[in-house]
Amino acid sequence: MNEYTLPIIFGVTVGTIARAIMLRTDYRQYPTYLHGKVIHLALGFIAAALGSVAIPAIMEKEFTAVTFLTIAASQFREVRNMERNTLTELDGYELVPRGNTYIEGIAVAFESRNYLVIFTAFLTTLAYLVFNWIAALAVTIVIFIINRKLMSGSTLKEIVDISHSDIHFEGAGLYVDNIYIMNIGLPERQEEIRKYGMGFILTPKNFDVRSTIANLGQRQAILHDISVSLGVFRDSGTPALVPLIKRELDDGRIGVFILPQDHNPKKAAEIIGAVPVLENAIRMPSESKVNQKN
C-alpha cells in the first residue's frame, strides 16, 4: 500500500461501474446477455485502469508513461472494428437488416463509451489525489450525470410528426397516402399486404430534417426497429413481403410501409418515435454559410 493505492482502486472501481451503467441491453438485445457483456466489462475495466494510473504517473514525473494512453486509443479503435465486423456479419441473417449506418452508429458508441470510462477514472483519481475522497465522490456523481447525458442521443419524435395512414393499391402499385411504395403483381400478395400492412407518414418539422430522414441508413434503422419490436410478416423466399420506406420528393415527407405481426398502430407510432436519430444521418443545411447569409 502506498499513497496512490486507494485513489487508483477508487478510480478503477468508479470507471468499471460507469461502464456497467452504460452497458444496457434493451430491445436491440445487443450486446447479448453474459458473454457479450463480459467482453465489454473487461474492456471497461482495462480502460478504467488506464485512466486512473495516468495521474499518479504524472505526479511521479513519469511523463512518458502517458504515452500508453495512445495504446489504449488504438485498442479501443479495435473494439469499434470488432463490433462493426460482428454486426455486419450477422446483418445478412436478419429478416430486416439493421443497415450499415445503424451498425456504424452502434460501433462508434462502443468505442466512445470506453473513452468516457477513461475520463471518468482519470478525473475521479485526480480529485481523490488533489483533494480527498469526498471530493472524488462528488466528481463521480457529476460525471455519472454527464455520462448519462452524453449517452442518449435524440429520437425521431423530436424531429418529425408521425401520422398513421391507410395503404391502398392503384392497379398493381402500392401506396401509403400519395407516396408510391412498390409494384405488387400477384392478387394474393396484395391481399396479404392489405391484411397485414400498415402505413405511416413522417413529416419533417424543418428543412434540416428532410435530409436526415431521407438518408437510406436512417430509413433502414426505422424499419429494423419496428420489425424487432412488433415482429415482421415475412420469411426468406417471400421477397415481395418487404417493409419499405419511400420519399415524397415534393416536400420531403417519407412514407413508411411495414408488415407488423402485432397490428397496433398506436404502438407502432410510438416505436417509430423512439427510433434513434443516427449520428451519421444528421445533416444541417441551415448551418451552411450560404443559407445563413440569405
Binding region for other proteins (CB under 8 A): 171-172, 182-189, 236-240
Least distance (Å) from other proteins to the CB of residue 30? Answer: 27
> Could you give the 3-state DSSP secondary structure of residue 215?
coil
Of 130 and 186, nearer to other proteins (C-beta) is 186
Q: Which is nearer to other proteins, 141 or 237 (CB)?
A: 237
Q: Of 55 and 181, which has the nearer Cβ to other proteins?
A: 181
Give whichever of 193 and 275 is closer to other proteins, judged by the CB atom.
Answer: 193
Find the shortest distance in angstroms from Cβ 235 to other proteins.
Answer: 10
Phi, psi of 241 (to 5 degrees): -90, 85
Alpha-carbon distances, residue 155 vs 71, 144, 218 (angstroms)? 34, 21, 11
The span from the CA of 130 to the CA of 164, in Å, is 58
The CA distances from residue 164 to 99, 188, 227, 257, in Å, are 24, 24, 17, 10
Tell me which amino acid residue 18 is.
A
Rounded least distance, CB 163 to other proteins, Å: 28
Find the length of the chain. Answer: 294
Cβ closer to other proteins: 63 or 237?
Answer: 237
Nearer to other proteins, 20 or 240 (CB): 240
Residue 75 CB-density burial (10 A; 0-12 exposed, 13-18 middle, 19+ buried) = middle
Strands 167-170 and 160-165: unpaired
Nearest alpha carbon to residue 157 among 89, 249, 225? 225
